[in-house]
Amino acid sequence: MNFRYFLGSSGVFALGLVAIFSVSPSVLEITPATAQKLQELRNLGKAMYENPGTQTQAVSVLRQAAEIAPHSAQDRLNYGLALLRSGQVDEGIREIERARILNPKLPHTYFNLGVEFKKRNEVERALRELTHMVELVPTDPKTHYNLGVLHKLKGDFKQAIISFEHAIQFGPDLAAPHFQLYNTLRRTELNRAKKHLSHFERIKALTQNSAVNEDINWSFYSELYDPQPPHVPTEQATAIQFGAMGDSHELNTTPLGVLLRPTGSTTPPQIMVWSNRSLLLTEPNREAIEILVDSVNHVAAGDSNNDGNSELCLAGATGLRLLSLSAETSPVFGRPYMIADGNFSSCLWVDYDHDYDLDLMAIGINQVLLRNNGDGTFANVSETFPFVQGVGLNAIGLELWENNSSNIVAVYKDKIVVYEDLKLGRFRSEILDRSSRGKQPVRMKVVDVNHDGFLDVTITNRISTLVLENVNGRLQTGITLPSIGSWADWQNRGILDAVSNSSVISNLGHFQFKLIPTIGLPSNIAFTAASDFNSDGRIDLVVVENSGKIHYLRNKTDTSNAWVNLAFHGVKNNKLLEGARIEVKAGGFYRKDVYAGHPITVGLGSAKQIDTIRITWPNGLIQNEPGQSINSIYRFEEKPRLSGSCPMVYSWNGQEFEFISEILGVAPLGAGIGNGQFLTADHDEYLWISGEKLKPRDGLYNIRITEELREVAYLDQVKLIAVDHPKHLDIFTSEKFKLPPFPVFQLYEVTDRIYPISAHDKHGNDVLELVTKRDARYVDKFHRDFTNRAELHSLTLDFSDLHGEYMLFLHGWVDWVDASHIVASSQSKQNQLQMPILEVKDSTGRWRVVDSDVGLPAGSPRTIAIDLTGKFLSESRQVRISSNMTVYWDEIFVALNKKSPQSKSKVQVTELLPNTATIDFHGFSKVVIHPGRLQPERYIYSSASPTTLWNPTPGYYTRYGDVRELLTEVDDRFVILGSGDQIDLRFNVESLPVLHSGNRRDFLLMVDGWAKENEANTAHGNSVEPLPFHAMSAYPYGPRESYPDDNRHKEYLRKYNRRPALRLIRPLQNNE
């Protein structure tokens, strides 16, 4: 039932039915003095629960909440869930069972206990729990699915089929029950089974990169329980009062719009008012600057070159133009220049391809999508976008669901269209509404109208505003209001009010609105814009009259409510952080906003403390800032860290597990390189481990491989190779990443190292001292940017009198570029990444390229080998290594090319397969990052947190326990690790030969597999599947290829790949 009406004379707007939320007697028993403290503990516990390094504190905080409210089922349940997540499973189960005693009708207890017992293979107990869950919530599809799995495990296939069918009935978008029914029915009802397989394949194809990723072990009832109603303001607004703030200005022609232009992420925005013939750039108490233009329908501001200062896109009847301005109102730099021909009603800045720079879309009679090439130019890629036919009026971008997407909502004359972001630059169009919008221009805003954590869209013309309500990630047409100019919290009540063309409309909560008296608001209002221009903690207003007169109105409303002023600065993301999602939680208050590149003031009502400020950066990483003060101004800088690269290797050195390096840096699965192309990845790698770093422990060599980044690791085989050799003889291998053809594994014997007689960097600096010793002092005098791209830098080495066959050895490390930045680099010849090249001098003294890809260190730090045989073109023995990648070199030398083992070699190589191998949860090791990123990251294994800045990639992973049989041969039966997982490997020392006197023993760790980053420009980056396999022609592979489907691999999938992804970071707002 859905009631929507406008009581005009009474000034009350009502939307929907106000939900009735029951409060348990245990909560009512808490005194008012402790109620606020309890809510603060609940929120702070949730924030600490989600942040790296604070899991233990989260358990402690939630225990305090349970102690304040000992009879509260909510707090007992949440305490139990925190215990589960911290690894205290038995204690967590006991607490959840206590919560059920307090409230036997709380469905969360049954669902979580059922899932937990299912994980422990306690089928009967799990069945009892989930059967009770169905009695309480008969329509939850995940419960029915899990019941089906349990019935199937018991051999009750008839009941399993019924449960899977119920799961489909209540969750028609779920793929998993179709797959289960296919497997269950294919031996008895093949035709029926084929239909379910077809449904499964269709849903998987549709949802492969869509907003909601399927996880059948998680449902609505898996979240921390937080049964609060939508926020209701603590203080109802009375009269809103505005007063003049500086002299007014005037646009001499009819205004068409106003926008707030960011000029720096921490400074108040400038005000831009435009007409068809001019732009007026203004600020309170400053002289206005008028820019004469022609044929302008719409203006949009965006920082296209990441200089921290936004440019203007001008959309009009004659085309699309770009105007660059200085950060100050004067002077104006340059003139508008045309970037696309056509007749356009509006334009939109949006990073449609997730490559960290803003692209442009424009719609009107014509439609165009322009890709930002990163070098000041744009490429027309309209043919790749599914534009619907029609005359466009306006468009706006937003994230509908927390999946880091850039969905676009577009309004046409006769319809509203949602362009769903499928990642990799692909979109899908869906017509939301076919109502006529007329010909008049419309304005669009993204705003969380009902404070439920889902961003809504408003569409406004001169008569009315239509709200598109975001219901669990999908938009639907909602209430129609009088024409709204701006949304803002004028009294810091903790909820967004609105201003129309005549008055402020107070948001009462629960989708109810009321007109309230407003003092100081001019008549004949055409447009408004709201911001805290003087940083006093109250939102001010800019009003543009129909005549073109511009008023700056200071908010003079008397209020004692709390506030916070927030600004953010990007480091790895764009500097203005346009599109970052900001969430603030304080007691019962919650607010979500999209950062527009300039400071934002958030009203907090009667809150005494801010529990959490959460920033979700444009690349999807999350940063929590808990425990902040009210009535304060905060400026937060992005804390960058590596989110994807490869699994980590630690070895037992006799005292502790020591970080060695990453592994599988040669195998980035599905990494995009632009234009729909993907990197061809190698799949095996050899990591050198010196004997000092691997010591026996109870007769076993112990190595841990952890997955601690935002990626999935697929490990097929692991071998430990002992290399016994004379102490005077050094052994090297080439630990390099390079493009095909891939290097062949080879050992090199080195007796004498020949160092260069001179070494200079690109700028002529003498760096000989840095490259003649392995001491972690790197050649680093070159410029790099936040994307890990560097200026073209080189290292010139002179080896003087060198004759014969020699190998060049370089020891160093690389700060990796992620797939999205690689895609960005591919869009411009000027910015394309260049692998290290080798140059020598010819007989005329000119440098000549003799190897266009010598490779990079595959981890940090590593040694690569380059064969110099036949490379020199003259008597000169100078070599030059050049690249624009962020690679740092340490020790460099040449040695005679002695490949090992040889028939007369004294090197003995022995391979060991794991004696035992188990997978379990490790967490995320403490990372040590050099402030200037001039040293590789180091990880401290013994100091680990259960959470980090991202959730594991959705999908199914290898179940915990013994996995040795999966790692003994290359057979496409992988150990699949998600974020936080580890493999504990132990190798039998007694299987090695006796080490002879005068020899030493070093090691190589051979790993065969791949690593796939959860990144917008990685193929299938947001899902574990489809699984790779060695015979595939490429990844992603086409429809004619598939993962092996024989009985052995089917049994492997059934037996091992049944553990769903963890959800380590929970939503800040509960939307029950």
In this prediction, residue 14 has a pLDDT band, given cuts at 50, 70 and 90, of very low
Region 765-770 average pLDDT: 96
Q: Tell me: pLDDT of 51 over 60.
A: no
Say if CB 886 and CB 735 are below 8 A apart: no
For the chain, give the number of residues. Answer: 1072
The pLDDT score that the predictor gives to residue 538 is 94
Q: Tell me: pLDDT of 379 over 50.
A: yes
Mean pLDDT value across the chain: 86
Among candidate residues 1031, 1013, 1038, 1033, the one with its CA nearest the CA of residue 1023: 1013
The pLDDT score that the predictor gives to residue 230 is 46
> CA 1023, CA 669: separation in Å to the nearest integer?
12
The region of weakest confidence among 186-200, 453-467, 650-664 is 186-200
Q: Which residues pair with 594 in a beta bridge?
A: 581
Residue found under tokens 């779920």: 174
Where exactly does CATH 2.60.120 map onto the chain? Answer: 730-905
pTM over 0.75: no
Sign of CA dihedral 619, 620, 626, 630: positive
The pLDDT score that the predictor gives to residue 228 is 55
Q: Is 998 left (phi over 0), alpha (psi -120 to 50) or beta?
A: left
The pLDDT score that the predictor gives to residue 212 is 42
Q: Tell me: pLDDT of 709 over 70.
A: yes
Among candidate residues 254, 271, 253, the one with its CA nearest the CA of residue 262: 271
The region of weakest confidence among 209-218, 307-316, 442-451, 794-803 is 209-218
Sign of CA dihedral 585, 589, 595, 597: negative
Q: Please write down the HEC assignment for all residues of 799-811.
A: CCCCCCCEEEEEE
Residue found under tokens 């112990």: 702
Give residue-wise pLDDT tens across range 151-181. 989 989 999 899 899 988 888 878 888 888 8
Q: Tell me: pLDDT of 687 over 80.
A: yes
In this prediction, residue 422 has a pLDDT band, given cuts at 50, 70 and 90, of confident
**Domain 730-905, CATH 1.10.20 — does that match?**
no
Collapsed DSSP state (helix, strand, coil) of residue 421: strand
Residue found under tokens 């899902």: 1023
Among candidate residues 164, 168, 196, the one with its CA nearest the CA of residue 182: 196
> CA 92, CA 98: separation in Å to the nearest integer?
10
**How much of the chain exceeds pLDDT 90, in percent?**
52
Range with the largest mean pLDDT of 5-14, 498-507, 815-824? 498-507
Collapsed DSSP state (helix, strand, coil) of residue 166: helix
Contacts of 378 (CB under 8 A, 6+ apart): 339, 340, 359, 360, 370, 371, 372
The region of weakest confidence among 22-26, 250-254, 890-894 is 22-26
DSSP-assigned letter for residue 966: G
Q: Tell me: pLDDT of 141 over 50.
A: yes
Region 278-298 average pLDDT: 88
The pLDDT score that the predictor gives to residue 360 is 97
Where exactly does CATH 1.25.40.10 map onto the chain? Answer: 32-222
Give residue-wise pLDDT tens across range 326-355. 655 444 556 788 899 999 999 999 999 888
Distances (CA, A) of 870 to 74, 733, 752, 842, 874: 74, 20, 21, 13, 11
Cα-flanking dihedrals φ and ψ of residue 1031, to 5°? -85, 0
> CA 764, CA 794: separation in Å to the nearest integer?
10
Residue found under tokens 């690679």: 887
Among candidate residues 857, 780, 755, the one with its CA nearest the CA of residue 812: 857
Q: Which two tokens stand for residue 736?
A: 């390099």
The pLDDT score that the predictor gives to residue 770 is 96
CATH T-level topology, domain 32-222: 1.25.40
Q: Tell me: pLDDT of 16 over 70.
A: no
The pLDDT score that the predictor gives to residue 32 is 47
